Amino acid sequence: MMASSQPREWTGLQQFPVATQNALHALLEKLRKEDVNSLTVLVLGKGGVGKSSTVNSLVGERVAAVSAFQSETIRTVMCSRVRAGFTLNIIDTPGLVEGLFVNDHALDTIRRSLLNKTIDVMIYVDRLDGYRVDNLDRQVVRAIARSFGPQIWKIAVLGLTHAQLSPPDGISYSDFVERRSNALIEMIQKEVVFKKGDPQIPIALIENSGRCSTNSGGEKVLPDGSVWLPKLVEHIVDIATGSAEPIVIDKKLIDGPNPNKRGRVFVPLIFLFQYLFIMKPMVYLMKRDMESEVRRRPSWEVLAGQKEESPSAVEPVQTEEY
* Domain chopping of the chain, boundaries: 3-255, 264-309
Does the annotation flag 52 for ligand binding? yes
Indicate if the pLDDT at residue 259 is higher than 50. Answer: no
135-148 vs 173-192: helix axis angle to the nearest 10? 50
**Residue 71 annotated as binding site:** yes
**Is 243 annotated as a binding-site member?**
no
Phi and psi dihedrals of 115, rounded to 5? Answer: -55, 135
> Is residue 37 a known part of a binding site?
no
pLDDT of 276:
72
| Residue 45, pLDDT score | 96
Say whether 48 counts as a known binding-site residue.
Answer: yes
Asked whether residue 208 is marked as a ligand-binding residue, the answer is yes
* pLDDT tens-digit map of 141-175: 999 999 999 999 999 999 999 999 989 888 999 99
Q: Are 147 and 107 in contact (CB under 8 A)?
A: yes
Q: What is the structure's pLDDT at 261?
A: 52
One-letter amino acid for residue 230 of the chain: P
Report the pLDDT averaged over residues 176-195. 92
Residue 16, annotated ligand binder? no
* Model confidence band, residue 260 (pLDDT cutoffs 50, 70, 90): low
HSE, CB side, 13 Å, CA atoms: give it for residue 79.
23
Does the pLDDT value for residue 263 go beyond 70? no
151 burial via Cβ count (<10 Å: 0-12, 13-18, 19+): middle
Q: Are 173 and 167 in contact (CB under 8 A)?
A: yes
pLDDT at 262: 53
Q: How confident is the model at residue 36 (pLDDT cuts 50, 70, 90)?
A: very high
**CA dihedral for 208, 86, 121, 226, sign (positive or negative):** negative
Q: Does the annotation place 299 within a ligand binding site?
A: no
Cα–Cα distance list, 122 to 151, 192, 219 (Å): 11, 15, 25
Averaged pLDDT, 182-189: 95
Higher-scoring residue by pLDDT: 293, 39: 39
Domain 3-255 is found in CATH 3.40.50.300? yes
Alpha-carbon span 25 to 196, nearest angstrom: 34
Whether 49 has a binding-site annotation, put simply, is yes
> Per DSSP, what are the bridge partners of residue 158?
124, 203
Distances 5 to 64, 78, 91, 105 between C-alpha atoms, Å:
11, 6, 11, 24
Q: What integer pLDDT is reported at residue 180 of this predicted model?
A: 96
| Average pLDDT for 91-98 | 94
At 1, the pLDDT band (50, 70, 90 cuts) reads low
State residue 310's pLDDT score.
56
Find out whether 166 is annotated in a ligand binding site: no
Q: Residue range 86-100: average pLDDT?
A: 93
Q: Between β-strands 38-45 and 121-127, what pairing exists: parallel, antiparallel or unpaired?
A: parallel
322 pLDDT band, cuts 50/70/90, is very low
Considering only residues 60 and 304, tell me which one the structure prediction assigns the higher pLDDT. Answer: 60
Is the pLDDT at 317 greater than 80, yes or no?
A: no
**Residue percentage of the chain with pLDDT more than 90:** 65
Beta carbons of 42 and 119 less than 8 angstroms apart: yes
Mean pLDDT of the chain: 86
Residues facing residue 77 across a β-bridge: 3, 92
**What is the average pLDDT across 303-316?**
55
The vertex-190 CA angle with 147 and 106, nearest 5°, equals 25
Q: Which residues lie closer than 8 Å to 122 by C-beta, 6 or more apart?
A: 41, 42, 43, 44, 148, 152, 153, 155, 156, 157, 247
pLDDT digits (tens, 9 = 90+) for 120-149: 999 999 999 998 999 999 999 999 999 999
**Any binding-site annotation on 105?**
no
Q: Are 235 and 30 in contact (CB under 8 A)?
A: no
> Per-residue pLDDT for 5 more than 80?
no
Q: Is 235 annotated as a binding residue?
A: no
Q: For residue 273, say whether it is annotated as part of any ligand binding site.
A: no
User: Which pLDDT band holds residue 68 (cuts at 50, 70, 90)?
Assistant: low
Region 208-234: what's the mean pLDDT? Answer: 95
Render 71-111 in DSSP notation, one character per residue.
-S-SS-EEEEEEETTEEEEEEE---SEETTEE-HHHHHHHH
- Is 38 known as a binding-site position? no
pLDDT of residue 239: 97
Burial class (CB in 10 A: 0-12, 13-18, 19+), 206: buried
Report which of 119, 99, 95, 105 is spatially closest to residue 44, judged by C-alpha positions.
95
What lies within 8 Å, CB to CB, of 165 at 6+ separation is: 128, 129, 176, 223
**50 is annotated as contributing to ligand binding:** yes
